[in-house]
Chains A and B, each alone.
Chain A
Amino acid sequence: MTFTLNRRGLLKASGAAALVSGLSMPSILRAQGQTVKIGVLEPLTGNLAYNGTQCAAGAKFAADAINAAGGIKSMGGAQIELVVVDAQSRPEIAASAVDTLAEAGVVAFTGASASALGLASSQAAAKYDLAQVFSIGTAETIVERGLPNVFRFTPGVNKCTSVALENLKQLNAAAGNPVKTAAIVHEDGPFGSNMAKIMAEQLPQQGIEVVETISHPTPHRDFNNIALRVKASGANILIPSNYLNEYTLMARALRQQRAELMAIYSILGGAASNIKFVRENNDVAQYVMDCNHWYDPNKPESKALAASVAQAGLDLTYDVMVSYATIQVIADALERGASTDRKAMIETLAASTYDGSIMPYGPTKFVNGDNVNSQPVNTQIRGEEIELVFPEEYATAEPVFPVPQEG
C-alpha cells in the first residue's frame, strides 16, 4: 500500500511526523514537472520514533526550501521528491526498507537516527550502489567498514568526545580551573560505555580526576541512589551520557538530593539539547551544558528553518537540523553532478566540498566516508532557550561556567 500525498499538505500537518509514523510503506511527496527522488529512512515507529519523525520532518523542510528556491538548477529545476520509509526502530527492517528505496528509484538516501539502524541500512544499500548520507550515527564502526556508499556528515562519538573535552578544558581554564574532579554517569549500552571509557582516559590528562563512574540500564526507574553517590563523591562536575527519559529523572534526583555541582556537562546528552526537557523541567534544566550536533543559528537558512518549524508546531531539535543539512548535501551533489546515476552520485558525494549547509562545519571533506570537517558545538540551557555558547564564532550567548550557586 503506497500513500501519495501532496507535499505542502503533508508539511502543514506537522505533521508530518505523526502522520508518516503510521505508514509502513513509502510516502512519495510529488511535485510538478521533472523530479528527482531522495530517500528518507528513519524509525517512524518503535522506541526511536520521536527522533525518526523529527528527522523526517527536517528532511521535508529542506526539500520544501530547495524546491521553493527553484529545485536542482543543473537538472532544469528538477524538484525533489522524498520517499519516506519506516525503519521501525529495528535494524532488520532498516535493511529491508533499503529494497523499497531502491525499487522506488531514489538516487541517495538519508538516515537513520541510530547507529544500529544505519549500520544495517548502509550495508544493504551497498549492493545497490546506493549512497547513504547519515543524519545521525555516532558509532565509529559506520565509517570503519570501507563501504564506498557511506557518507557520515555529522561527527562520530570519538570526535564528539574529544571536542567536548577540549571545550571543557578551555571553559575550565577561562574560569581559573575551578573544576578538579568529575563524576561520570552513563547508560550501560555501547554509546554510554564507550564514551565513559574515553573520558576516564582523557579527563586525568586535563587535570580532572574521575572520582565516580556509575553505569545504569535503560530504562531505569530510580536515580536517587545515583544522585546520592554523585553527591557523596564530592565531584565538582557531572558528565552524563544517557537518553532523555533517564536524563530527566537523573536531573530531578540530583536536585532533590541537593547535589552541589559546578556544572552538568553532557556529551551527546539525550535531554540537554532537547527543548522539551527545557519546557517541562525548566528549573533543573538551567545552565545544563551539552556538546552535541547543532546548527549555526546565525545563518539565514537556519533562521528560516526555525521559523518553519515553529509554524508547523514542531520542536526544533538537532534531529531536524542534521536531517535538513543532509538533504542539502545530497541536493548539492545533484546540482554538481547533474545526474541521477547512483554510482555517479557516490563519486560526486565523495568529492563534495559543500560549505552551504546550516551546520557550523567547514567545507565537506569525506575521508573514508567520514566528514572530517564536521564538529559538535556546546549548547547551554538559559531560561526557556537553548543557546549556542561555544565556539565563540557561532555563539548566541556567553557560556556560564561554573554555574552560579543557589542561595
Chain B
Amino acid sequence: MSSLILPAVLSGLTMGAVYALVALGLTLIYGVLHIINFAHGSLLMLALYAAYFLFVHMGLDPYLAIPILLPVFFCLGYVLQRWVIAPMSGGSEQNVLLVTLALALIIDNLALYFWTSNTRSVDIPYAYNTVEFLGAYLPLGRVIAFFAALAAAPLLWLFMTRTRTGSAIRAVAIEKRGAEIVGIDVNHTYAICFGIGTACVALAACLLLPTFYVTPQVGYTFVLVAFTTVVLGGMGSLPGALIAGLLLGVIESLCGLFLGESLGQIGIFTAFILILLFKPSGLLGRRAA
C-alpha cells in the first residue's frame, strides 16, 4: 500500500485541479456577487456538450475549442444574468436562488430531451497518453488540466485586482449603492462577472472532456465538490479556490486509498465541516479579492 501513496497524492492533485477549475467560476459568482448559482453544474454540462459536438461534428479537439467556447459562454452568462436572472429575481437573493434552480431544471431537462441520457465520450488519439513523474503514470489530460488551473487562477486574480473591470466587480460586491454613485453600471458589471464565471465553466469543460464523459446529469458530479471548494478556499478568493481544489483532490484520493473508494468523499465533507467550525471564512477568505 505504501508504494501507492505517492501516485495517489499526484493523482489527487490532478483531480483537484479539475475541482479548482470548476470552482473558479463559482467563486466569482457565488463569492463575489453572492449569487448562489444552482445552474453552475448545468452550465458545465452544457459546455461539455458544446465541446463534444464541436469534436464530433467539426473534428475540433477539445483544447482547440477553448478560444471558441470561452467567448460564447461569456456571452451566454452575460445574457443570462442581464436579461434572465436579474429581472426575474428583482434584486432579492432568495429569488436569485429560485431563478438559478429553475434554470438548472430547464437546462437539464432540455438536454435530456434533445440529447437523451445517453453517455457520450470522445475518442482522441492521446486519450491514453500519460506523463511519468516520480514513478507514477499521470493521465496527460489531467496534467494539462493541472497546469491550466495553475495558470488560470493567478490570471483571474490579476484581472480582478489590476484591471478597471475587476475593480468595478469588487466595488459592486462590497457596496453596490456606493459603486452606483461613483458611476459604475451595476447591472452591466454583474453581468460581466457572471459572464466571466460562465466562461470559466467552459474552460473547465474543455479541459475535462478528454478524460471524462458527458451526460445530462454530469454537472452534479462536480458541482457539490465545487461549492465545497469555494467555501473551503474562502468565498471569492481565486487563489483560495485553487488551493482548496488541490487539497480536496488529495484528501479524497488518500481517503479512497485507505478507507475504500466508497468512503473517499468522507474526507471532502469532513474537511468542509472542520473549516466551517474553525475557520468559517475559509483558507484565504480574509484576503478575498
Contact = CB atoms under 8 A, between A and B. Distances in A.
Given A217-B265, A249-B212, A224 B7 contact: yes
A339 interface: no
B116 A245 contact: no
A49 B109 CA distance: 12
B92 interface: no
Contacts of A256: 128, 130, 137, 139
Q: Is the interface of A mostly helix, strand, loop or mixed?
A: helix
A280 B123 contact: yes
A297 B123 CA distance: 28
A222 B253 contact: yes
Interface residues of B, number: 38
B3 to A, nearest CB: 7
Given A245-B215, A256-B139, A215 B113 contact: no
Contact of A252 (B120, B128, B264): B128
Contacts of A216: 261-262
Given A50-B116, A222-B15, A228-B7, A258 B121 contact: no
B166 to A, nearest CB: 32
B117 A47 contact: yes
A248 to B, nearest CB: 6
A255 B7 CA distance: 15
A174 interface: no
A256 B257 CA distance: 18
Given A50-B119, A216-B262, A221 B221 contact: yes
Q: Which of A214, A252, A279 has the most CB of B within 10 A?
A: A252
Contact of A50 (B113, B117, B123): B117
Interface string B47-76: 000000000000000000000000000000
Nearest to A43: B117
B262 A215 contact: yes
Interface string A49-61: 1100100000000
B116 A229 contact: no
A22 B113 contact: yes
Interface in A202-235: 214-217, 219-222, 224-226, 228-229, 232
B119 A257 contact: no
Interface in A37-74: 45-50, 53
Given A216-B261, A221-B221, A232 B128 contact: no
A284 interface: yes
A276 interface: yes
B217 interface: yes
A349 interface: no
Contacts of B15: 221-222, 224
A282 interface: yes
Contacts of B257: 225, 229
Given A221-B15, A249-B212, A276 B262 contact: no
A225 B117 contact: no
B118 A249 contact: no
B256 A225 contact: yes
Contact of B119 (A17, A53, A276): A276
Given A17-B116, A256-B137, A280 B121 contact: yes
A188 interface: yes
Contacts of A224: 7-8, 11, 15, 139, 253
A185 to B, nearest CB: 9
11 contacts: A53-B116, A217-B264, A224-B8, A225-B11, A228-B7, A228-B11, A248-B119, A256-B137, A276-B120, A280-B123, A283-B128
Given A228-B7, A281-B123, 19 more contacts: A18-B113, A21-B112, A48-B117, A50-B116, A50-B118, A215-B261, A216-B261, A219-B221, A221-B221, A221-B222, A222-B256, A224-B253, A225-B4, A225-B256, A245-B215, A248-B119, A255-B128, A256-B128, A281-B121
Interface of B: 3-4, 7-8, 11, 15, 112-114, 116-123, 127-128, 130, 137, 139, 211-213, 215, 217, 221-222, 252-253, 256-257, 260-262, 264-265
Interface of A: 17-18, 21-22, 45-50, 53, 188, 214-217, 219-222, 224-226, 228-229, 232, 244-245, 248-249, 252-253, 255-258, 276, 279-284
